[in-house]
Amino acid sequence: MAKRPRQDNGEARPVTLQDIADRLGVSRVTVSYALRGDRRYVSERLMHDVVRVAQELGYDPSRYHAARRLRLSHLDERLQNHLAAVFFPDNCLHLTYHRIIFESVIETLLENYYAPVLVYEGRPDDSPTPPPLPLAFGRGDIDGAIISGPDPRAFLPSLQALQDDPGFRGHPIVSLLTELPGCSAVIVDDWGGGYALADHLLTLGHRRILHFYDTERSPIYRQRVLGMQQACADHQLAPASVLTPHTWEHVTPEVLARDLPGILRAQPDITAITAMNDLHAETIVGVLRDLRLSMPSRMSVVGFDDIETAEGCGKGGVLTTARVPLADLGQQAAELLLRRITGEEPHDRCTVLPTELIVRKSTAPPRQ
C-alpha cells in the first residue's frame, strides 16, 4: 500500500491530483482527464494506472467535488460526476428480454467507471403521473440518462420531467427501443424483422397469416406490420388478402387461450401465426397443443426476439423467430450515452441494430 502524503506536523493530508501526477510522472491535467474517463486525451492503459494509483494513495474526490463544481459553473462548464441514471420498466428483472438489456447497460457503465443510478419507471396505484425524480437530479449529480421500454407513452412523463428539471436540463438522454423527442436512440430494425418473417412464411407457401399487433401502443409493432405488408407486395400479393390482424392490447395469456380457438375455427384457411414475441409464441403453441393442431404440419408459428422460454420454444428450441441483439442494444446505448456526456458525440443520433431470421422447426410448408 502506497504511503499517503504527510503535512509538516507528520499528519496525513488529503491526497491531491498533483500527488497522483507526481507518482506517475504526468501532468495534473492528464490525471484529471483520466479520473473523468475522458478517452479523447488519455489512453486506456494510462487511465487504469491513474485509477490504480489514486486508490493506492487513498484519493477522495468528494473533498474537492463542491469546489470544482462551483468553479466550472462560473466558466459555464459541467462537472462530470460519473453517475448515469437508468430508467427501466418495473418488470425488467423478471422478463428475460429486459433483463438482458438491463445487465448489458449496467456492465458497460461499470466498465467505464460510471455508477448507475437505477430508477424504475413505474406508477404506483395507477397514478396518472410518475413518481418524483430522485434528488440527485435536482442537485446536478447525474451526467446523463438512459430510458428503456417498448411503450413510449409510459416514458413521456418522465422524459418531460427530466427535460424540465433545472439540475438536469440539457444533459444527454438515450432512448432504448423507441425514438423519443430530444433524445439519442438505439433501436432495432423491426421493419426488417417483420419483413424477414413474412417473406419466410410466404416463400414456404402460406397465403393466410394471423398476425398479432399493438400499433396503438408502440411504433415497434407498427414497423413490423409495415415490413410484413411490404413482403406481401414483393410476392405480388395484396397484404389485406394475406394478413389477418388481431390486436394484442390488454390481451392476457388467459384471454388468448380463450379467444384463439374461435379465431381459428372462424377462419380455417389460416396456416401460420406471427406472435408479438417469443413468450407470446409460447402461449400460442400451448393453445395449439390443446386444440390438437400439430406444429408445423397443421400450423406454423413464428416469434420475435429469440430468447429462452420455459417450454424451450425460443433460443436453442424449436421456434422460428427474428433474433434481436439484446446485449448489443444495452452496450451500445450505454456507450452512446458516455460519448454524449464527454462530448465525443456532439449531437443526438439514432443507431439502428439489425435483426436476424432464425429458422427452426416451428415452420414448414402448409398442408395442402
Q: What is the grid cell recorded at 234?
A: 414483393
pLDDT score of 9: 47
Q: Which of 7, 39, 74 is the last residue of a domain?
A: 74
Domains identified in the chain, total number: 3
Is 320 found in the same domain as 280?
yes
Q: What is the pLDDT of residue 72?
A: 44
Whether residues 88 and 178 fall in one domain: yes
CATH number for 126: 3.40.50.2300
pTM for this predicted structure: 0.77
Query: For residue 320, which phi and psi values (nearest 5 degrees)?
Result: -75, 135
Please indicate, yes or no, whether residues 315 and 247 belong to a single structural domain of this protein.
yes
Residues 153 and 179 in one domain: yes
Pairing of the two strands 144-148 and 173-176: parallel
Q: Are residues 184 and 196 in the same domain?
A: no
114 and 175 share one domain:
yes
Question: Is 9 within a domain?
Answer: no
Per-run averaged pLDDT (10 residues), the chain, 368 residues:
51 76 89 77 86 84 54 50 85 81 94 88 56 78 85 73 85 91 94 98 97 75 93 97 82 78 91 91 89 90 82 67 96 96 92 96 90
Three-state secondary-structure class, residue 136:
helix
The pLDDT score that the predictor gives to residue 307 is 87
Task: For residue 368, tell me if it sits in a domain.
Answer: no
Given 74, 91, 113, which residue is the final one in a domain? 74
User: How many C-beta atoms surround the C-beta of residue 164 within 10 A?
Assistant: 10
Q: Measure the CA angle with vertex 153, ends 150 and 154; round to 5°.
A: 75
DSSP state of 124: G
Residue 362 maps to a domain? no
Range of the domain at 93: 83-188+326-353
Q: Where are the alpha helices (DSSP H) in the chain?
A: 17-24, 28-35, 44-57, 62-74, 96-111, 135-138, 152-164, 190-204, 219-234, 239-242, 253-266, 278-290, 326-342
